[in-house]
Amino acid sequence: MTVIRNNSISGINSITAQSNSLNFYNTSGNTLSIGASVTGNVTGNVTGNVTGNVTGNVTGNLTGDINAGVVTATSSILVGNSFINPTSIGIGTTTTAGRNAGVGTATGTLIFNNTTNALEVYSPEGAWVTVKSTVFSATGGTKTTSGNYTIHTFNEPGDFIADGGNKSIDYLLLGGGGGGGGYGAGGASALRYATGFPVTPGTYNVVIGGGGAGNAPNTTKGSSGTPSSFDSNIIAAGGGGGGGSSYYSMGQALPGGCGGGGGSDPNNANNEPNAGGTGSGATGGTDGSISPANGWGNPGGNGSNGFNAGNIAGGGGGGTENSGQSVNGSTGGNGGNGLAYSISGSSTRYGGGGGGRGYNTAGTGGTGGAGDGSPSNAPADANTGSGGGGGGGTGGSGVLIIRYE
């Protein structure tokens, strides 16, 4: 320890240099503050308050307050994981739990919340609020990821809520499939598909159509599926219900996104088939292609005809890829196949037409989740937009899938 006694500098009795520190004492032994500017470099620790200007580099720890003046740093100022650089400011990060446990709540306090991935500020109203960002984010449906894509799947009604900046999305939309009638199969929904659809911040209402009810008695038609919609103006029509027996004036199938299959007509002496339902979507869908304005949709197949008790079979329901099979015998018609898309992360077919009911052999449902014809009169898979099997199979409900990078 080195002690220097001083009588020539007013107010300072001694200067002590010990352990790399320099202390100034008055005659009572109290440590003195330096009430002047420091110009140059300070190497070591500064404990106490700095009132005035510090020009130069401070190497070491500064413990205390800077009450006034200017601190000039040549590169950066770092406090914990917060920093000030010449071209940027980092406010550090925390979680919602960390924020609630220990972050100050002075009005204007800023944090980046890792839980919400958002910049938040403490408002004058006494709450943390998200600072508006241009980074796109969205909620709604079941949210998953696949590679670089974020995917929202709506199996039931809800809202797609977009925030931040604008975004281009891809979407796939199907309504409910038609139900199978007494003989004819249910048709698939129309299929709407688009890429690069522009989305701006806001709430987009989502409606998911239900599958049409199947009707097992020979005389009855199946019910058509109900439409699905995205933001009210993008609509996928439901599939048409399958036909029953025209002997009871119920053989004609119903129209829809894809038409239902026609019913049987064993008592038609004019040899006229029971027509399958027409499709409102564009025919001849192509795998992976962008759909036209009304979506993809094909007609259902015609049912059996002729004054022949052996000609008892229903036509297959139309699928999103092709039409249902027409019949003129006792074997039920096969349903049209669905279209394949990889929007969910793997290639999946949607919108198959149901298989028709046969006197001896049932028709097979088209690929994409459709039901086979009676005796199984199978329901279609949920959230595929496919048609139910002839003989009373229920149509599958609709779905909306949205993805973006």
Question: Residues 244-282: pLDDT tens digits?
Answer: 987 666 888 999 999 999 998 776 656 667 899 999 999
CB 43 within 8 A of CB 59: yes
State how far the Cα of 127 lies from the Cα of 172, in Å rounded to an integer.
Answer: 39
Number of H helices, E strands in the chain: 1, 30
Residue 220 reports pLDDT greater than 70: yes
Residue 35 has a pLDDT of 57
- Strand order from edge to edge, sheet including 234-236: 137-139, 158-163, 202-207, 228-230, 234-236
State how far the Cα of 400 lies from the Cα of 222, in Å rounded to an integer.
Answer: 24
Residue 76 has a pLDDT of 74
Residue 321 has a pLDDT of 97
CB 67 within 8 A of CB 48: no
Residue 16 has a pLDDT of 61
Predicted confidence (pLDDT) per residue in 382-403, tens digit: 999 999 999 999 999 999 999 9
Residue 115 has a pLDDT of 84
Residue 319 has a pLDDT of 98
Place of tokens 């690929």: 367
**Range with the lowest mean pLDDT among 168-177, 202-211, 267-276, 369-378?**
267-276
Residue 158 has a pLDDT of 98
Residue 143: pLDDT band with limits 50, 70, 90: very high
Residue 239 reports pLDDT greater than 60: yes
Six token digits for residue 250: 């119920």
Residue 212 has a pLDDT of 98
Average pLDDT rounded to a whole number, residues 340-348: 96
Predicted confidence (pLDDT) per residue in 285-301, tens digit: 877 789 999 999 999 99
- Please tell me the pTM assigned to this model: 0.71
CA distances from residue 315 to 17, 252, 373 in whole angstroms, order as listed: 104, 10, 10
Residue 50: pLDDT band with limits 50, 70, 90: low
- pLDDT cut 70: percent of the chain above it: 78
The chain-wide mean pLDDT, for the chain, equals 86
Predicted confidence (pLDDT) per residue in 55-99, tens digit: 666 666 555 555 555 666 667 777 777 778 877 888 878 899 888
Q: What is the CA radius of gyration of the chain?
A: 37
